[in-house]
Amino acid sequence: MESVMSKTATRWPVLIGVAVLAGCAAQTPTAARPAPAPTESAPAAPALPNSAINIPLDYYKLDNGLKVVLSRDTTAPTVTVGVYYHIGFRIEPKGRTGFAHLFEHLMFQGSGNLGKMEFIRLVEGNGGVLNGSTRFDYTNYYQIVPAHVLETVLWAEADRMKALAITQANLANQQGVVKNEVRDATMNQPYGGFPWLTMPQVANTNWYNAHNFYGDMADLDAATLADAQSFFDTYYAPNNAVLVVAGDFDLAAARAWIAKYFAGISARAQPARPDLAEPPQQAEKRNTYVDRLAPRPALALAWQVPPRNTPELFAFSLLDSILLQGEDSRLWRKLVQQRGYAGGVAGGINLLGNEFTYDGPMLWMLYLVHDPAARPEAIIADVDAEIARIQSEPPSAEELDRALTKLRASLYDLAGSSTRFGLVDLLACFALFDDDPAHINRLESEFRAVPPALISEVARKYLSPAQRTVQLVVPGRAPPAPATPGSSP
């Protein structure tokens, strides 16, 4: 659900990654693994002994309630700015499915002093990149710009926090763009939306967790300017947001600019947050659907994870690392290497982020695309056997150490990344959801504190067959269904 600028999202690897190497874009293949969710996947799960990293933080609030996190690092003369609003697709109002995401697009369509396209031109024209995205519990907007452009960007973000200025024509235009995004992501490619969009709709029972996050086309079409204004007035208030600035800047100057541009924006009363609780699941759920374009069957399994910020979730995160993350993981060894069911098995806690970047119930999923000869029951039995093994026997010291080493490396990657996206994401979520961005510097010790026995215990408590949801994708051989291709579950 990368928004407006899935453009930059798709271009990043070319600019920054080693993908520059691919000489001819037409010549790629070798996707021997199922495609991951259409976003930054790879849970950037952190950890480590006695805090190998120590992210510098300056955290405060303006009188209007806007949270501000400043983190200075002058390794490169760039600065990353993120504004996160505490409104995501799962908490959008009933009858307005897809509105949180549609609205994210509208935030690029005009504000008090910037007309349509002007925000984008201002950032790109000064040497920066930008994007926004909609996730379970937040919508974010971010830029990476040369360090000397910071004040300009702060002004622009404040301008669109201050006032929305869109026209009926701009709304209609973005309704068209979003509908194309949905077609791109879910209807015009095999396994579109699987399982990041399809699974929550069957594994969850609470409407907030279980509705179509991209939105029903009818709901998208029904959105009006008045709806947009009301949504903005309600949720895009400074007291429902956090501003994160990370990179090369002067602390005093940044604080002064933030006060100058953001302090005058009025706080607004926030509605009560909806109850997101999922009732305990007593029996396995099954869902099967036909994907018109899929040439092979696919299987996904999901379970609810422990509550955020509990020792149980840290233990579950290590469990995920041991079972599912990387080619050394137990399920990779079993399902891919030994059984040969698939070219890869993917998944994790929160496919659209990681175990810290949401604020409510969350699923742990695993999924793979397999051949018809491999029966789902056999694959599930193998998964069950691996779960049973860790339920009855804690991981060895060597295996746990490997998991912690991987976590440590990813924490360094977070701190050392030139885009600082992962860093900004964690700081924003810890500030927005917990009022505690300094949590980032305690992550290591919290992972280290997990006793091996607790890993087995959470496996027993959360990963029983009765608690799981099975989703099966049936390859669509029949002629295309005219109305609802890829029929949603």
Smallest separation (angstroms) from other proteins to the CB of 197? 16
Vertex 136 angle, CA 131 and 139, to 5°? 30
Q: In the complex with other proteins, which residue's Cβ is closer, 6 or 51?
A: 6
40 binds other proteins (CB under 8 A): no
Q: In the complex with other proteins, which residue's Cβ is closer, 277 or 481?
A: 481
- C-alpha 461/C-alpha 456 separation (Å) is 9
**469-475/298-304 β-pairing:** antiparallel
Q: In the complex with other proteins, which residue's Cβ is closer, 466 or 481?
A: 481
Residue 155's nearest CA partner among 61, 243, 275, 58 is 243
Out of 340, 378, 381, 385, the only residue in the binding site for other proteins (CB under 8 A) is 340
190 binds other proteins (CB under 8 A): yes
Out of 72, 268, 389, 402, the only residue in the binding site for other proteins (CB under 8 A) is 402
125 binds other proteins (CB under 8 A): yes
Both tokens of 228, joined, read 């947009």
Q: In the complex with other proteins, which residue's Cβ is closer, 352 or 403?
A: 403
Q: Which residue has the tokens 């069950």?
A: 384
CA atoms within 13 Å, Cβ hemisphere of 242: 27
Q: Which of residues 45-104 bind other proteins (CB under 8 A)?
A: 52-53, 73, 75-78
Both tokens of 263, joined, read 């302090």
Both tokens of 359, joined, read 């604020």
Q: In the complex with other proteins, which residue's Cβ is closer, 155 or 289?
A: 155
Out of 86, 101, 211, 292, the only residue in the binding site for other proteins (CB under 8 A) is 292
Smallest separation (angstroms) from other proteins to the CB of 488? 14
Q: Which of residues 148-177 bind other proteins (CB under 8 A)?
A: 148-152, 155-156, 159, 172-177
Smallest separation (angstroms) from other proteins to the CB of 178? 8
Smallest separation (angstroms) from other proteins to the CB of 322? 11
Distance from first CA to last CA of the chain, Å, rounded?
19
For residue 370, give the 3-state DSSP assignment.
Answer: coil
- Kindly state the number of chain residues that form the binding site for other proteins, as judged by CB under 8 A: 115
DSSP string across 284-315? -EEEEEEETT-SS-EEEEEEEPPPTTSHHHHH
Q: Which residue has the tokens 């706080």?
A: 267
The span of 141-149, 203-211, 277-285, 422-430 binding other proteins (CB under 8 A) equals 141-149
Q: In the complex with other proteins, which residue's Cβ is closer, 199 or 374?
A: 374
* Interaction pattern, residues 233-262, with other proteins; x per rule: CB under 8 A: ---------------x--------------
Residue 464's nearest CA partner among 310, 280, 313, 206 is 280
Smallest separation (angstroms) from other proteins to the CB of 249? 10
Bridge partner residues of 75 (DSSP): none
Q: In the complex with other proteins, which residue's Cβ is closer, 91 or 335?
A: 335
Contact 80, 420 (CB under 8 A): yes
Smallest separation (angstroms) from other proteins to the CB of 16? 5
Smallest separation (angstroms) from other proteins to the CB of 277? 35
127 binds other proteins (CB under 8 A): yes
Q: Which of residues 212-231 bind other proteins (CB under 8 A)?
A: none
Out of 40, 104, 181, 359, the only residue in the binding site for other proteins (CB under 8 A) is 181
For residue 366, give the 3-state DSSP assignment.
Answer: strand
Out of 112, 264, 271, 451, the only residue in the binding site for other proteins (CB under 8 A) is 112
- C-alpha 316/C-alpha 232 separation (Å) is 36
Residue 42's nearest CA partner among 393, 408, 422 is 422
- C-alpha 226/C-alpha 297 separation (Å) is 44
* Interaction pattern, residues 448-487, with other proteins; x per rule: CB under 8 A: -------------------------------xxxx--x--
The span of 232-240, 302-310, 349-357, 399-407 binding other proteins (CB under 8 A) equals 399-407
Both tokens of 203, joined, read 């594994």
Q: In the complex with other proteins, which residue's Cβ is closer, 342 or 351?
A: 342
CA atoms within 13 Å, Cβ hemisphere of 283: 1
> What's the alpha-carbon Rg for the chain, to the nearest Å?
22
Out of 166, 324, 390, 415, the only residue in the binding site for other proteins (CB under 8 A) is 415
Residues near 312 by beta carbon (within 8 Å), at least 6 away in sequence: 306, 454, 458, 461
Smallest separation (angstroms) from other proteins to the CB of 6? 5
Both tokens of 327, joined, read 């080619």
- C-alpha 205/C-alpha 276 separation (Å) is 10
* Interaction pattern, residues 354-373, with other proteins; x per rule: CB under 8 A: ---------------xxx--
Strands (E), 215-268: 241-247
